[in-house]
Amino acid sequence: MSERASLDSQDSSPTMRVRSQRHVRSRKMPDSTSAP
C-alpha cells in the first residue's frame, strides 16, 4: 500500500504515474517480464 501512497503523491506527473504503475505491475508479475 506504501507504493500506492507514493503514486498519489506524484499524481502531478502523468508520465511518472504510468511508469510507476507499469513498474508495480511488472514487479507483481515477473512472469510477464521474463517472457520475450
15-25 confidence digits (pLDDT tens): 656 666 665 66
pTM of the predicted protein model: 0.17
Is the predicted pLDDT of residue 35 greater than 60, yes or no? no
Read off the DSSP letter of residue 17: H
Q: Cα 9–4–16 angle (5° rounding)? A: 55
Nearest one of 1, 3, 35 to 19, comparing CA atoms: 3
Across 5-11, average pLDDT: 57
| Domain enclosing residue 20, as ranges | 2-34
- How many domains does the structure of the chain reveal? 1
